[in-house]
Homo-oligomer: A and B are copies of this chain.
Amino acid sequence: MTRIGSRTTGRPTLAEVARLSGVSPITASRALRGISTVAPELVEKVQVAAASLGYVANPAARALASKQSQSIVVLIPSLSNHLFIDTLEAIHDVMRPRGLEVLIGNYHYDIAEEENLIRNYLAYQPRGILLTGFDRSDAAKQLLASSGVPCVHMMELGGEAQAMSVGFSQQQAGRAAARHLLERGCKRPGFIAAQLDPRVMQRAEGFRQALAEAGLNAYGREVLAPQPSSIELGGELFGQMLGRHPEVDGIFFCNDDLAQGAILEAMRQGIKVPQQVAMVGFNDLPASAHMVPRLTSIRTPRAAIGRCAAQALLGLLDGKRGQPKCQDLGFELVVRESS
């Protein structure tokens, strides 16, 4: 009879599996972990016993004994933004089949909150950490470095010399947008951005560079807002742009939702896109291809970044050598009706 009221949980333990299959607990442990030194017929017996008891190993005990959890941590700056969802799902798709739990930390674009999350999540002894970009507090970097937990950086490239990164050049993407507008004959291009996180500012920098190279005033027509980007804000900022710079004939938006809001606002105001103002978005969100007019956008490999970053991390865990430090997955200008 089971002892009721003891400190036990009622869940079957490895010891019970071992007893049922007539081996020692350590052999049962090895059998279930697929360690090859166990005889095939014992493995079979143990698996049958485990299945019949509905045994699932206690992750806490496992983590404590082995000094390693089966979890990996992903730190992202926002969940409400559709962007990171695709990346997260791809990460899940890679990690779960390997039995790794994905712990998600959302730091709401707040460096201090990120540092805090890192401190707390390191206590879980994760197998690895996936980070967004390179912009974090020195204390956070210090924590990560001294923990020895493998890290992969997503979205941006470069960063610290030793850092592993999977992403694309935000700056080049900004340049590509500018060049496209110029090629389409825009003489007075403008830039609308929100959130103003480091990646947005890199795109802005690329955009400005390309304008400067074309002999235009790089900072001529910009409307920047610190709040999170949204369709609603896109309409507003577009209105502000028209008020301040009525001559604008092409706009690059740092995110598609802003551009979508602007397209809808333009329709309300009877402004013709692209005849009066061309528009180029960023990220190629699902709605963009269906706007009227369909939105030209820079498609970013969000899912691929998640997948490759996850795989790179697994590579680090398996001790694979010779992995590239820096994976540039590029981006793609998808030209549609709005430009």
Contacts and interface: CB of A to CB of B under 8 A. Distances in A.
Interface of A: 7-11, 54, 56-61, 63-64, 67, 69, 79-80, 82, 85-86, 88-89, 92, 101-104, 106, 119-120, 122-125, 148, 230-232, 235, 260-261, 264-265, 267-268, 286-287, 289-292
A71 to B, nearest CB: 9
Contact of A124 (B60, B125, B264): B60
A14 B56 CA distance: 29
Given A286-B231, A287-B231, A79 B69 contact: no
B80 A89 contact: yes
A67 B58 CA distance: 10
Interface hub of A10, A79, A123, A230 (most chain B Cβ within 10 A): A123
A264 B290 contact: yes
A114 B216 CA distance: 57
Contacts of A292: 264, 267-268
A330 to B, nearest CB: 23
Contact of A260 (B61, B64, B287): B287
B123 A59 contact: yes
A333 B56 CA distance: 46
Contact of A85 (B69, B85, B148, B260): B85
Contacts of A64: 58, 60-61, 64
A58 B264 contact: no
Nearest to A260: B287
A301 B247 CA distance: 43
A61 B66 CA distance: 11
